Amino acid sequence: VKVFATILAGASALNATNTPTCSVNGAAGGQVVNLSDGKYDRCISLITPSSAKGPMPVLFWFHGSGGNAAHCGNQRDLVQLSEQHGFALICGEATQDVFGHGGQWNIPEKITDQTGTPCGSSDSVEVGYMKAGFGAARNHLPKQMSSLE
């Protein structure tokens, strides 16, 4: 019975769906961008400061375990620094309730000299997410500000 329950739990994780919860909470210059990591529907919260007049740096903010990007605009210190110093703020969001409770980043747990650096699409959905996130940011930043390569 335990083996059967373990198989069912594993199967349900494989069939899990993700419900993105990104938000900018009314932050000026903010927008939610929906995208896919190749397996799950995902999102980023993008806040572009009005003070930026040309190409700008981009700061990616990743929430902690169990969190989400629903409160991106509530990161008032980061939003204020973004405005003061002219950088775009992108809040990434882990899959929600797919790999555990709440937002969990699917990052390989063991990275050693023997395992190497597992950064391929087959290693984690986060590789596809980061590629899609950079592409979405490049496409959604005002053209004169798009310096992402």
H helices within the chain, ranges in order? 2-14, 76-85, 125-140
Q: Which residues neighbour 82 within 8 Å (Cβ) at sequence distance 6 or greater?
A: 47, 49, 59, 88, 89
Residue 86 has a pLDDT of: 87
pTM: 0.76
H helices within 40-141, ranges in order? 76-85, 125-140
- In Å, how far are 41, 42, 63, 104 from 119, measured between CA atoms? 20, 19, 20, 17
Burial zone of 35 (CB within 10 Å; 0-12 exposed, 13-18 middle, 19+ buried): buried
Which pLDDT tens digit goes with each residue over 37-70? Answer: 999 999 999 998 887 777 888 899 998 888 899 9
The tokens 């555990």 sit on which residue? Answer: 100
Which pLDDT tens digit goes with each residue over 112-126? Answer: 777 777 777 788 888
With cut-offs at 50, 70 and 90, classify the pLDDT of residue 8: very low
